[in-house]
A = this chain, B = another copy of it.
């Protein structure tokens, strides 16, 4: 599994706040919720992802002796905080939407209920985990919807933002419906199918392309894919045709050819023609090289004879929308609802729930309300951790992947078709609106009474 980063991988201000909370005994129950304020311009829905790693983080969060010693050595913190961190365990409750659930702006996908310092301390890394996998699962879903029935493989480790991103992109893409990844560690850590052929350097290292093909096929006869665009695709396709009968005599079958550059539509047709003429109708064509939704969509619309795609950088950095406007906000403390008012960043207060209605097997509208309300439809946030312990029977990655597929199938047609203007109905309940007004009234009073100006 992925290594657990240091407990110090957090913002300094978390420890500043914890010091103040402990000094004043401010340790009553707090409720924080993670949500996305506004969807990126190109997104009509998002897919929740990263919950498994988030819960793993919460369960495993410890300050090692080295970390505590270092904190002490900075001279910044008092003994009460050092002692608190030494024995730190997260003992809160978590409610969340299952991974793979489609969700929309302002809908909490995870809710933490814990004593204030615990709920506060986990903020930074919790956002860091949920943000990235949700970003990538949501991006991957677009490719999945664009190319039904095609093999889609994550090729993006090298240009993902660091090690953790590379590995988690493979997971999030698989969750959203990709067939697999090129990243070997993702197979070991998560059981995700891996795909891999050869690089241009392999071809270039040989004195001729034919020699490279020859040797590779003998060494790696399983799932054999030959890269044919290093020098000239058509010439290489002819070499593949020439090679096939000789391989056949040894019982080796060429599975696919890969094209990684150039006009993929034109080249795939030429290559398909050469392969078909050469009695290699079963050899599939796999394409890669800077593919994004626009290019993939065009290839699919024009019915280019490409059977599978390696999607790299555009997927793993979510190139058209490399971040989500997400937040983890305090909604309740010591039994009182709270709300942030900052311009453009006001939040809905209180402990919330999301209800979803379906009609004819399609999602038909959500309500965001207070947890204590009851509404028609299914409540999407469910308990996943009680008193710091994960609940048994959580889904496997494959089950979450099935759930995601099910969610994509249930999206209203306009959302499935990635139509730019499509909107899904999300209603704020009466009770939630009333609570917001009440919280605001309380605040104005506070400001009126105290403002010295």
Contact = CB atoms under 8 A, between A and B. Distances in A.
A289 B37 CA distance: 14
Contacts of A218: 23
A184 B12 contact: yes
A144 to B, nearest CB: 20
Nearest to A341: B231
A159 interface: yes
A162 interface: yes
A302 interface: no
A182 interface: yes
A204 interface: yes
A285 to B, nearest CB: 16
B229 A342 contact: yes
- Residue of A10, A127, A159, A452 with most chain B CB atoms under a 10 A cut-off: A159
- Copies of this chain in its oligomeric complex: 2
A239 interface: yes
A451 to B, nearest CB: 4
Nearest to A66: B188
A313 B37 CA distance: 15
A176 interface: no
Interface in A62-99: 67, 70, 74, 76
Contact of A128 (B3, B166, B188, B345): B166
A129 B165 CA distance: 11
A209 B344 CA distance: 19
A205 B30 contact: yes
B157 A165 contact: no
Interface of A: 2-6, 8-17, 19-21, 23-24, 26, 30, 32, 67, 70, 74, 76, 116, 120, 123-125, 127-129, 131-132, 135, 155, 157-168, 182-185, 187-188, 194-202, 204-210, 215-216, 218-220, 222, 229-232, 234-235, 238-239, 241-242, 260-263, 274, 289, 313, 317-319, 322-324, 326, 329-330, 333-334, 338-345, 443, 446-447, 450-453
